[in-house]
């Protein structure tokens, strides 16, 4: 989905304004010989400024062309079938140049435009968050178009600042039946929050996990979930709203070891939050995994827990300091145990894991367990084995 652009062809506006200003100078200033040199310098300066601004606007238009074409070319390049994966581009701005670029793809994509581009009335202390309100409005409208107007059974949501992996569509096609069959799942995710290159097994891109943290950044949902969410959809901050217990309802998502999307959107309504520290280092999978030929039944809730939990709690426990000192290498896979909000955050920060919690749920965590690589070995940052559930006050 395309975010609102602020371009309004300033070059033309400035050109007209500056010429009007020149006429004003010539008509209103009394003719004086001594002023001729000053006026000439002023005219030259204004003309140079206008030329620079016009060049700047041309450069912005070229950037828009490259950005829009880049994101659509990326999706179309890896899409295996137009019939199985129709691409709907939902535009949330009135920018005509963007619309023309999208239209140039013809029948390769479906182009819809959010009709309501008005400002939204927000509380005084939320004025700086106007963008989040518009994003939530756009999501609601676009998903309603997908599920109500076009009546699709499922949709993969991919924002316009994401690049997708070669097996992006293959992954979702293979995981789709799991979502249909298992009510304990509520989405399939392309994203690993802790997917930095040094923290994943890049040589095993077929690895998949459960996670309780709602990710965004490339995810698949069913129309039944939209039936549930649409009536209570929030006015803003929709992704954090999805992470609340009332929405998640103890359901989890499937996520990959190596992310199938990568974000290049440092600039946005979040002003680059987490980008420089985490997001720009996320590894995008570059190896095609034939997921549709693999047996993914191990991801059904009962089978997954029967296998995953013994791996975690059967792993020897190690202290953070021992890990940081690269000690006890002979142990292989290890577990670091936390028992409180503060200990989780301290250990996560020390090991390079994202340490923020939403309603008590750690990023990429399942039953409180976060799985990642540290200095080449598997580490489970986990609560005690008698864990009884998330504490929403841990935020």
CA dihedral sign, ordered 353, 288, 209, 79: positive
At residue 377, the pLDDT reads 96
Supply the residues annotated as catalytic. Answer: 239
At residue 278, the pLDDT reads 77
- Residue 269 CB neighbours (<10 A): 17
Which tokens go with 27?
């008509």
Residue 99: which H helix or E strand, with range? helix 96-103
At residue 103, the pLDDT reads 95
Alpha-carbon gap, residue 89 to 155, rounded angstroms:
12
At residue 10, the pLDDT reads 41
Alpha-carbon gap, residue 95 to 4, rounded angstroms:
8
Task: Choose among 175, 219, 213: nearest CA to 370.
Answer: 213
Kindly report the backbone phi and psi dihedral angles of residue 260, in degrees, each rounded to the nearest multiple of 5, phi listed first.
-100, 5
Alpha-carbon gap, residue 69 to 295, rounded angstroms:
36
Using alpha carbons only, give the angle 235, 238, 244 rounded to the nearest 5 degrees. 115
CATH of 308-382, one of 3.40.50.300, 3.30.365.10, 3.10.180.20, 3.40.50.10320: 3.10.180.20
- Residue 67 CB neighbours (<10 A): 16
CB proximity list for 167: less than 8 A, separation 6 or greater? 78, 205, 260, 285, 287, 288, 289, 290, 291
Is the CB of residue 87 less than 8 Å from the CB of residue 75?
A: yes
Give whole-number Cα distances, 24 to 14, 30, 39, 45, 390, in Å.
Answer: 15, 11, 12, 16, 68
Give whole-number Cα distances, 261 to 156, 157, 240, 265, in Å.
Answer: 12, 11, 20, 12
Residue intervals of the chain classified under CATH 3.10.180.20 are 308-382
- 3-state secondary structure at position 123: coil
Q: Does 58-282 carry CATH code 3.90.550.10?
A: yes
At residue 236, the pLDDT reads 97
Which tokens go with 383?
């609560």
pTM of this structure = 0.84
**Burial track 189-206 (b if 16+ CB lie within 10 A, e otherwise):** bbbbbbbbeebbebeebb
What is the Cα gyration radius of the chain?
A: 26
- Residue 32 CB neighbours (<10 A): 9
Which tokens go with 257?
């070891």
Residue intervals of the chain classified under CATH 3.90.550.10 are 58-282
pLDDT less than 50: residues of the chain: 1-27, 33, 271
């Amino acid at each position: 989905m395309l975010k609102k652009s602020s371009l309004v062809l300033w070059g033309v506006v400035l050109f007209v304004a500056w010429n009007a200003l020149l006429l004003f100078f010539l008509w209103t200033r009394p003719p004086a010989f001594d002023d001729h040199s000053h006026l000439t310098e002023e005219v030259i300066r204004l003309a140079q400024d206008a030329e620079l601004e016009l060049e700047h606007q041309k450069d912005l238009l070229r950037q828009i062309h490259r950005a829009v074409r880049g994101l659509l070319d990326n999706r179309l390049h890896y899409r295996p079938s137009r019939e199985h994966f129709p691409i709907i581009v939902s535009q949330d701005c009135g920018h005509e140049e963007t619309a023309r670029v999208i239209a140039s793809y013809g029948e390769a994509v479906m182009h819809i435009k959010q009709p309501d581009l008005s400002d939204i009335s927000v509380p005084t202390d939320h004025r700086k968050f106007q963008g989040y309100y518009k994003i939530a409005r756009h999501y609601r409208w676009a998903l309603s178009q997908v599920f109500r107007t076009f009546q699709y059974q499922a949709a993969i949501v991919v924002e316009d600042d994401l690049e997708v992996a070669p097996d992006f569509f293959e992954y979702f096609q293979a995981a789709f039946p799991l979502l249909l069959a298992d009510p304990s799942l509520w989405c399939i995710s392309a994203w690993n929050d802790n997917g930095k290159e040094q923290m994943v097994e890049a040589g095993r891109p077929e690895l998949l996990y459960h996670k309780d943290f709602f990710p965004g950044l490339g995810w698949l949902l069913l129309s039944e979930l939209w039936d549930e969410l649409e009536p209570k959809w929030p006015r803003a901050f929709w992704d954090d709203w999805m992470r609340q217990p009332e929405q998640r309802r103890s359901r989890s998502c499937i996520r990959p070891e190596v992310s199938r999307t990568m974000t290049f959107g440092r600039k946005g309504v979040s002003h680059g939050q987490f980008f420089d520290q985490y997001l720009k280092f996320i590894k995008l999978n570059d190896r095609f995994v034939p997921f549709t030929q693999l047996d993914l039944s191990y991801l059904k809730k009962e089978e997954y827990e029967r296998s995953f939990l013994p791996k975690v709690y059967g792993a020897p426990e190690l202290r953070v300091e021992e890990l940081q000192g690269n000690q006890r290498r002979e142990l292989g896979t290890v577990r670091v145990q936390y028992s409180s909000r503060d200990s989780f955050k301290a250990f996560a920060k020390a090991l390079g894991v994202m340490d923020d919690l939403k309603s008590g749920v750690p990023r990429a965590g399942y039953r409180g367990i976060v799985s990642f690589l540290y200095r080449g070995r598997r580490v489970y940052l986990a609560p005690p084995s008698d864990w009884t559930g998330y504490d929403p006050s841990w935020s």
